[in-house]
Structure 1
Amino acid sequence: MSLNYDLPGEPGDTPSGQGAWDSDFITYPNGPNGYPRLMRPMEELKVRIRRGDYNEGFDSLLSDTYLLPGLCRDLQKTLAEIPESDPSYRGTLMVLGRVLYSQAEMNGDIEDLELSLQYLEQALNLTPAGHGGGATCLINLATAFGLRSQHTHQVADADKALHYGQQAINAVTDGESPRHFLVALGTILRHRYRITYQIADLQHGIRYLKAALETPQQNRGKHVDILNNLSNLYHELFKRTKCEADSDLAIEYGQAAVQLSTDDGHERAVILLNYALCLLSRFKTSLRVADIDMAIQNAQQALMSFSSAHAYYLVCLGGLGIMFKHRYFINHQSQDLDEAIRHEAAIEHSAFIEKSRFSRYYNRGVSFAAKYEITRKREDFLKSFRAFFEGFSSETENFDRLRCGYNTCLIATRVPSLGLNLAVEIVEEMLKIVPFFFQPTGSRNDIQEILNQLSGMASSFASVLFAANKPPVEVLQKLEDSRGIVISSVIDVRSDGIELREKHPALWMRFTQCRASLGAMNSNALKMDMERTYSTDVKRLEQLHKDWSDIKEKIRRNPGFERFLLSPTERELCELARIGPIVTLNTSHINSAAFLVTTSGIQSLSLPNLKLSEALHWVKIFAPYGNPHRRDAELCEDEEEEQLGSQRTPSEMHTGLLYLWTVAVKPVLQQLNLLNRVTTPTRLPQICWVGGGIMGLLPLHAAGDHASGSTENAISHVISSYAATFKSLQFVQNRPRISVSRSKQLLLLAAMPTTPGGHKPLQVQEEITAIEDSASKWALSTTLLRPSKANILDALKTCTIAHFACHGTADRVEPAKSGLLLGKETVEKLTIEDLDTISCHNAQIVYLSACSTAEVGKMNLADESVHLASSFQLSGFQHVIGTLWGVDDNAAVEIAKRFYENLPGSGEDSYVSPAKALHDAVVSFRNTEDNWKDCSKWASFIHLGC
């Protein structure tokens, strides 16, 4: 069983319920029976209402679990006795609304929250314009809507909270401190981020909280609150960026909050728990035992301060259980394992509260699954399955449903008695949920963060449908719709709509205007602008995307345009195979299969010997390939370079390539009848490998045995090309073809013999000279030596062929920042984000003679194929030569020379496709001397296109 039992967020973020339980594991006294006398607190509230003081001094009352229900009853009774004309009526409404949302925050009761919103909205309607209490009423409404967004997981609620919060800031009167309002906005933006995954939410939230920290006349409690919230925001930011500085700030602010906190109740417990979770996150990266020890110590202190009725009680239990489990895997001490089981059992005994806003079902499923990993008892296994299934069937928010459904499918496909048909039904429903995750204001990086959370689901969806013997075309289309989300959105914006312009010029005009506005957003939809109102940017982007959806819908209502910008139909998929068969390989924990597309139809092929665990192993083996003369952007000393170059041996690569040939590539070629019996064929058929998933990270074109004289390899039988998705292949094929031998080409050569910042020099002069000589008869070449990024972006607008000889880097945190290193005085990186801003109408071929230009830097984004090579293709280049890993400098020179020599063709071959030109260049280099022995030198080069 290979279930993923770790929470996607922080362990313990989402408890499965609340309530006292009777066991010998963990105990906490529930406090006094009945409520304390409420006379003094109620009298205090009445005094505050009469004098219009609604901000400071409420914390002790609103954090007391036992006081709140009595306060609610007394306030409601008081409200019924006061005439609406009484000045205290509006104040009572405000305080009652605040008490109710505080109670809802603790008990998770949505009815309390809805009632709170009713009272607060009524109070706002009764507040005269310019009244001093208007800001307080607005911020209370903002906080309540922020809390509701956690229940509903709807961005509309978060946006209402943001809207009211910024109105509150604007309504602050002279002499009134904005501190309370700034803190509330920071918290609201953190909640909004958990829905949208828009990093700007965190950045703006930090901005508001730092402004609050600088406000004068802070009391100790409010200062602690700001520090705690800053810690939370930096913690979220660290989980997103993986930047050590963000983690250190989260811990620094959290530690300061703990040290300054004097309260022994729930408030301090929450601060201790938040600090513990920050330490746990850093431990996962650093593996420092001191971090996990300190995390456990603080979480234990927090647990002793929580009542079992508090919403965070189970957060603490779950977090402690996983902390002990992590420490066990470090020190292997049995007492830590016992503590992990003990805390998991505590969650098992807790009572479910159906109105809880937390992911109770998912967390319960994870807890039993983790317990099963320890005990291996079938009872725990089945309880895990039941919890996941109940979670998927419940009315919880979509992300939790998806996570529960995913785990349910993984279990159901492995245990026949649980039912494959159930798994199919769940997959069909899950496919309807996925589109709701992508907010209209999401930037490329924000969307990628969501996709990172959904990693592996597309492959599992396809595996379930394949196991159920669904038609191959149906499985393939579902797979296509579930991946390449970023690429699909870029294609939509870049599609030229020539036919639309001819038949419906007015629609085309609106389409192009809206597309231009979207393109102007660049890759970051929401940029930091300290002077602008954040909600203004949000609304502007929402409207822009609404306009884009509306115009596409109007276009599709016209005959002949029903499929405008939609994924290819079965007929269109088969038409794409006119140049050669197209193959998609899919592997998951469930099964592995190939989907084969030819002009005559679509078929599937089971690949029982292809295992996901083994494929992952070979991805890790191939990824670090490099040598002391590679063209990546790493900065290292000579000794480090030599060590890196010897990390993997040529024999390991040969073993991996032979594995790929045996379990996947050879069976596919046999099924397609493409295994050539001729020793030296003059013409080989072309095949296109459509990427996505783990198999899209492997060198399928080089699979096999490359010993001298062997034909048990892919390059002896087919010319391989790659494409990110079928939609991207269709986009490329629809561009006009131009033969380099029939017209003079404009060839741009960008050379970086040296790079600022200490990067190693490259042997590019020989490469550039050879290309200039080879292309002199058919191209007008322009060589830019150490060009700036601006120079390149300008030159790309007119060139037909571009060649880059430089260092390259694949960003493993934010793939959109992967790039080519340029510049004379300082490093200037040409990134994927930059390519999003240009459209190269004359472009034909780009040759990226650099490292890792076709490498997906982040494993969890394998379904997206986000890299430099695919981005150049989407910017307009029909053919792209890219690299899967670190490139040998000498090999880069030789293969580039031979590529340009092959490109024009000769004799009957007046035109040689770039795919064949690269194939022949690589084969020629492989067969020279003993280059076949070290496949890492030449197997990195691939062709993207058709």
Structure 2
Amino acid sequence: MKEALACPSIDTSFRVYCLPRLPILYLSRFMRSGDKEDLQKAIELAQEASLLISNGNPAFSNMLICLKEVFDSFNHSISGQFGDLDNSGDTFEVQVAEQAVAATPENCPSHVQKLLLLAFAYDNRFSLLKDRADLQRAIQTLEKATSLVPIGEGVRATVLSTLSCQYERWFQFGGLENQEDLWKVMVCNEELFTNSNRSTSLESRILSGVRLCNLCLRCEASYEAAEVAAGIIALLSQITQGSLDRRDHEYLLSQTTHLPSAVFSLFLDIGKSATEAFRVLEAGRGVMASLAIKSQTSVSLLEDINPQLHKRYQTLRNQLCTRTNSDDQPMLESNQNPQILEMRQPFFIERELQKTEDEIRKIPGFSTFQLPLGEEELKSLATDGPIVAFNDTAVRCHALIITTAGLEALLLEDLDSRDAVRRITRISQISGRHPTKLGDNNDEMEDLLKWLWVSAVRPVLDHLGYLHPAPGSRKDCELPRIWWITCGALGLAPLHAAGIYGKPGAESAMDFVVSSYISTAQALDFARTKSRAQLEQPKDAQKEALLVSASDEYLGFEAEIQDIRDIIQNHCNPITLQDASRSDVLHQLKRSKIAHFACHGVSVWFQGGPGVPQTSPSDSYLLLKGSKDDIDGKSNEKITVADLVGIKTPKARLAYLSACSTAKISPDKLSDETINIANAFQLAGYPHVVGTIWEAEDESATMIAKSFYEKLWNQDSGPQSFDVALALHRAVKKLMNDPEWKDDFIAWAPFVHIGA
């Protein structure tokens, strides 16, 4: 297209067609690369388009939309890292938008669209010049647009959503927060959230619900806030796997960070039961994992039993999730049958989806289809040991405890949320093994483990009656089991290692319980189901163990694999891959019962923005080939979280990840999703996973891995549900009691068992 525009003989009409589009291509490349020259070129071409295309030309609206997108990115960027760009675009954009509004009669269908663009232009200029008069102009423009659009028009949702955001910015930058303004913005968001407009997209409803919930909390309307928040979480469960790009799905979920924890506390505050509070907490966390689990269980089973009903259900969910607000859709479809248009509205699709789910729940065995686990199901999960979730908010902190007797919320009076966040955030900073800082870091880690024991873990074990008899009076195999749900700030902490060490009266969690971790109760149910399926397989079935290592001249990956091969070769058939390709490893995973990785692991955090390529925990990976020195090299073979979620491993039993940070949950905007490599293996079908919550020390990692397999294979029957967690418990405890390692908490504390 660039070459065509440069041709001297190009037809004028074709030039008019190309000019509004070429800036978008430059802008798209800028969003990927961050190259400011691409952004500058987009601006120049957009300005050229505005001079060439007149108001009367049918391409004028397209040109305006082009300008809006270009200047949006322009203004975001020059207010950040590209301060040397030409900043004349703000005034130019306002002039073009004002010209468009003036040239369009109010009764013209595109007039509201022009008002929207003008509001965007005012907002962009405010971002640059910080003149609050521009925010007022944007609000007034949007209020006028709202008055021109009747309820039921698709563009109304966009206008209301934009107006709500402008009010929020007005409040944020010092605008007078009076009751009238608060009421206006609450009405905007309520209309969007409740879908009274009947044409609001699922994404817009969720985002408007978040704004409405925050407004309710600002007004101290706890009941209303709890009701709205529960509604948001219900909407999150309507998103289908594959209906949104994974990046888009993650971005949407990042906008609801910490909402489930807030709802849990709100529910308890307004007198709801611990069961009701936990069910809403459970439904709002691990949403993407929940979709993956359901696609392998209830939804997959429905397809086998009733293919037609399954097809109708999936079609409706995909339509609901992919339906987006389109400002010009009513104009494009105005000549179509009104009944057909109505059937395409989210309101109609949602109603039909509800009817379909009700029909599915009438099928024997599907009474709880797409519903959170009920109280009896949760109590049943606690048969092998209690399940505990910590929930911390600025108001108060609780431990939600599930036993066979029921669910209860234990108030943790000595636990402060702000202190917890501060301490837990320090873990990533002190868990490194820099020689000059190792002593100080271990001292701080010891202090953190003591605080964790006194403030959180000990009160829970005391409540359960697990602190008697005294430490050392029972064998490890006699200790009760406990599952820690990785929820809130404490879900990122080494709960299994909490304790007081090296002093008279020393005691720790490892003296009283054998710990396991799990992302959600639903994930535990899934792991148990997979574990039972493995136990039902014939005992003479072929048992293959995949042993994967990466070459590194400084680390003993190869030696670790050889040690493990020697231990397990009498129990299964080991297959060794060194510096393997991604495709070879993924292929072997589908055939293997056990997978052991001795390589580098990299945990990635969520980030993104204009000119900054988006990354997320789904990009976390195991490095199959290459050393730590070139860990970011593009030529390296790697397996990512996203790779693992998509594979099926019918024979899988155990994945041991002897790599750094494989079970680490990044304390970012996606922390509620608990996305990491270890959890990805569990979703791929491994009922047991061993991982690390920070960087593992090479020598200690090899010692623990070797000890783990020695203890695991003590019985001819191989790894059973209890033996995996117990084997790791014993292996870690062996190193912990070694005089050479006992004070090196950073070396032995990161190893955790995840699963059944």
TM-score, normalised via structure 1 length? 0.61
Does residue 664 of structure 1 match 2:456?
A: yes
Question: Match of 1:123?
Answer: none
Residue segments in structure 2 that go unaligned for 5+ positions in a row: 102-114, 150-155, 323-350, 606-614, 628-634
Q: Hey, what's the Cα distance between the residues in 1 that align with 2:4 and 2:272?
A: 57
1:603 corresponding residue in structure 2: 408
Measured at CA, do residues 672 and 255 of structure 1 come closer, stay the same or move farther in structure 2, by a change above 3 Å? farther
Render the CA deviation track for 1:643-687: whole Å, top value 9, x for unaligned: 9x8899334434444443344333332332333451213232211
Q: Which residue of the other structure, out of 702, 709, 716, is the alignment partner of 1:900?
A: 709
> The residue matched to 1:851 in structure 2 has which SS?
coil
- Residues 597-638 of structure 1: CA distance to partner in whole angstroms, max 9, x if unpaired? 10010111234554554444345422356646xxxxxxxxxx
Do structure 1's residue 484 and structure 2's residue 286 form an aligned pair? yes
State yes or no: 1:921 paired with 2:731.
yes
SS state of the match for residue 734, structure 1? helix
Q: Distance in 1 between matches of 2:560 and 2:727?
A: 16
Classify the secondary structure of the residue corresponding to 1:352: helix
Residue 47 of structure 2 is aligned to residue 253 of structure 1: no
Alignment partner of 1:894: what SS?
helix
Shift of 1:577: 0.5
Amino acid at match of 1:795: Q
Q: Say if 2:680 is the partner of 1:871.
A: yes
**Number of the residue aligned with 2:329:** none
| Superposition pairs of residues 285-434 of structure 1, within 5 angstroms | 287=81, 289-290=83-84, 294=86, 297-307=88-98, 310-324=115-129, 339-347=130-138, 352-353=143-144, 354=146, 355=149, 357-358=158-159, 359-372=161-174, 380=177, 382=179, 385-395=182-192, 397=200, 399-413=203-217, 418-434=220-236
CA shift, 1:732, in A, is 1.1
- Contact in 2 for aligned 1:273/1:299 (Cα 8 Å): no
User: 1:771 is matched by which residue type in structure 2?
Assistant: I
The one-letter code matched in structure 1 to 2:512 is H
Shift of 1:596: 1.2
Q: How does 1:271-290 map to 2 (within 5 A)?
A: 274-282=69-77, 287=81, 289-290=83-84
- SS class of match (1:595): strand
Query: Contact 2:298–2:369 at 8 Å: present in 1 too?
Result: no
Give matches, 1:434-473, under 5 Å.
Answer: 434-435=236-237, 438=240, 441-473=243-275
Q: Contact (CA 8 Å) 1:514, 1:548: kept in 2 or not?
A: no
Quote the offset at 1:490 in angstroms: 1.4
Change (3 A) 1:921 1:440: closer
Task: Look up the match of 1:935.
Answer: 745
CA shift at 1:849, angstroms? 0.6
After superposition, the Cα gap between the structure-2 partners of 1:747 and 1:251, relative to the gap in structure 1 and judged at 3 Å, is farther
Query: For each residue in 1:452-472, what CA deviation from the matched residue of structure 2 results, as whole angstroms up to 9, or x when unmatched?
Result: 233333333323222212111
RMSD: 4.4
Change (3 A) 1:693 1:283: farther
Alignment-derived partner of residue 767 in structure 1: 560
Contact 1:746/1:798, CA 8 A, preserved across alignment: no
Who is 1:784 aligned against?
577
Shift of 1:763: 0.8
Structure with max Cα Rg: 1
Matched, 1:217 2:11: yes
Give the residue type in structure 1 aligned to 2:441.
T
Name the counterpart of 1:494: 296
1:720 is aligned to 2:515: yes
Distance 2:595 2:549 in 1: 14
Higher alpha-carbon deviation: 594-603 or 432-441: 432-441
Deviations 1:227-275 (A, max 9, x none): 333355457xx3xxxx544776445423443467547999798766644
TM-score calculated relative to the size of structure 2: 0.75
Number of corresponding residues? 660
Which amino acid is 2:262 matched to?
S
Tell me which residue corresponds to 1:810: 603
Q: Do structure 1's residue 561 and structure 2's residue 366 form an aligned pair?
A: yes
Contact 1:273 1:298 in 2 (8 A): no
Q: Distance in 1 between matches of 2:134 and 2:49?
A: 29
CA contact (8 A) 1:706 1:712 kept: yes
Q: String of CA shifts for 1:146-187, please: whole Å, max 9, x gaps.
A: xxxxxxxxxxxxxxxxxxxxxxxxxxxxxxxxxxxxxxxxxx
Please give the alpha-carbon distance, in whole angstroms, between the structure 2 residues aligned to 1:227 and 1:788. 39
Asked if the contact 1:368–1:383 (Cα under 8 Å) also holds between the matched residues in 2, the reply is: no
Alignment pair present for 1:593 and 2:398: yes
Partner of 1:793: 586
**Change in CA separation of 1:514 and 1:425 when aligned onto 2, cut-off 3 Å:** closer
Distance in 2 (CA, whole Å) between partners of 1:679 and 1:405 is 49
CA-to-partner distance for each residue in 1:730-779, whole Å, 9 max, x for gaps? 11112326499x88983524242416xxxx74212332232233334434
Q: CA contact under 8 A between 1:437 and 1:450: conserved in structure 2?
A: no
Is the Cα contact below 8 Å between 2:624 and 2:637 reproduced in 1?
Answer: yes
User: Structure 2 CA distance, aligned partners of 1:573 and 1:211?
Assistant: 64
State how far apart, in whole Å, the 1-side matches of 2:2 and 2:258 are. 38
Describe the shift of the 1:581–1:414 C-alpha distance in structure 2 as closer, same or farther (beyond 3 A).
Answer: farther
Amino acid at match of 1:754: S
Matched, 1:623 2:428: yes
Cα 1:751/1:507, change in 2 over 3 Å: closer
1:225 match: secondary structure: coil
Which residue in 2 is equivalent to 1:148?
none
Q: Which residue is equivalent to 1:688? A: 483
Instruction: Show the counterpart of 1:56.
Output: none
Q: Are residue 831 (structure 1) and residue 635 (structure 2) matched?
A: no
Deviates most, 574-583 or 704-713: 704-713
The 1:790–1:407 alpha-carbon spacing in structure 2 relative to 1, beyond 3 Å, is closer
CA-to-aligned-CA distance 1:60-81 (integer Å, 9 cap, x gap): xxxxxxxxxxxxxxxxxxxxxx
**What secondary structure does 2:551 align onto?**
coil
Cα distance change, pair 700–743 in 1 and its aligned pair in 2 (3 A):
farther
SS of 1:583's equivalent in the other structure is strand
In the alignment, what sits opposite 1:14? Answer: none
Secondary structure of the residue aligned to 1:584 is strand
How far apart are residue 642 of structure 1 and its match? Answer: 7.7
